[in-house]
Amino acid sequence: MSPETPLTLLGGLSAADFLRDHWQRKPLLIRGAFPDFECPLAPEELAGLACEENIEARLVEERGPEGPWQVSHGPFDEATFARLPERDWTLLVQAVDHYVPEVAALLEPFTFLPRWRLDDIMVSYAPPGGSVGPHVDQYDVFLLQGRGSRRWQLGGKVADDAPILAGIDLRILETFEVEADQDWVLEPGDMLYLPPGWAHHGVSQSTDCMTFSVGFRAPSADEAVTSFADYLGEQLPASKRYGDAGMAPPADPAELDDAALARMRALILETLDDPAQMAQWFGRVMTQPKYADQLVPTETPTDPDDLVAALQEGEALVRSPGSRFAWRALDETRATLFADGDGVACALPLARTLASDAPLDAALLAFEEAPALLGALRDAGSLAWPDEFEEQ
């Protein structure tokens, strides 16, 4: 599909137009983004996920028994839901696409964005009046209405240091003023795109409401600098140090003079300015799994011969729902495949296939290195046979 092709998902805009005019710039309301939408998840199923161990879930009660805007963290139990009032609370469950294939299928139309930018699909359920208050997120998000209706009000882009309510476990804005013409009620299939830093407030209307939040992540500058420095530090030899050969005698031996600072600055900048190392680090950090415990390593190493035999008999490996893959070309024939925070060099077409949605079947055996690589990915928990996922 051409980036110039109009997309229903984007209200008739092409991907190129959306990325130029809206992505990280301004909101976009899309009526009927998913025509004839049928919600792929029932409220009871979402509540069931919130009761499971290792699934991140939160309950927000505007008037909780312990005070206003009370936040509780899962796993929950039936008694928790039984005590809740008929209105004014919200259940939020993260990474539902990792557990429900029908929810993961909602990601298929978003291929106009880099796959490695995707965070997850968070699903919220709320009876009438349910909300998490006016707030700001520091990531791009598409808010797809799945069930019932929700009123969204936008307050424009706000400063990073905008005052928030103290004493609660939510970053609710102290003041929120709705901008003109930025007040809508979304019905099932409607979607609202919000760039980072945009104040917004969503409230469930007269019936039960479910919203699917497709979020996209980006590391902050402080996270990136720290992470890249740590990665480089693991690669550098101990012999690479500050040097001052040929320096002039100091006017005062206790002074940190400009020349010394310039030498240290040059050492740091020369070390950091390494595009090849930057690419290797970036691939690893952007494919780190959101929940590492979702990857279940094998108890015994995979036998490459057994793997080849299984593929030749018609079986196919599948990617772990919690895994992240990406690739970067090294030259015309080789690439680094990044998988769940690790990187390995392999044939470029093999890397592209593994990082795509293509079947992982016997066709991969055309690459001599495929059995060993597939075995390593299975041992790490990034890949598995379908029945192994059913057992987990």
Within 8 A by CB and 6+ apart from 223, the residues are: none
Encoded tokens for 276 = 């090849």
Question: How high is the pLDDT of residue 391?
Answer: 53
Residue segments in the chain with a per-residue pLDDT below the cut of 70 = 1-2, 389-392
Question: How high is the pLDDT of residue 182?
Answer: 95
Compute the 3-state secondary structure of the chain and give helix, strand, coil in percent, each to the nearest 5.
30, 25, 45
Q: How far is 132 from 60, CA to CA, in rounded Å?
A: 7
Q: Per residue in 306-325, pLDDT tens?
A: 999 999 999 999 999 889 99
Question: How high is the pLDDT of residue 167?
Answer: 84
Q: What's the angle, vertex CA 59, arms to CA 126 and CA 33, rounded to 5?
A: 40
If 0-12 CB within 10 Å is exposed, 13-18 middle and 19+ buried, where does residue 374 land?
Answer: buried
The full set of domains in the chain, from first to last, is 8-216 (2.60.120.650), 221-273 (no CATH), 292-391 (3.40.366.30)
Question: How high is the pLDDT of residue 392?
Answer: 52
Q: How far is 28 from 20, CA to CA, in rounded Å?
A: 13
**With a threshold of 0.85, does the pTM exceed it?**
yes
Question: How high is the pLDDT of residue 47?
Answer: 97
- Per DSSP, the chain holds a count of helices (H) and strands (E) of 11, 16
Question: How high is the pLDDT of residue 7?
Answer: 84
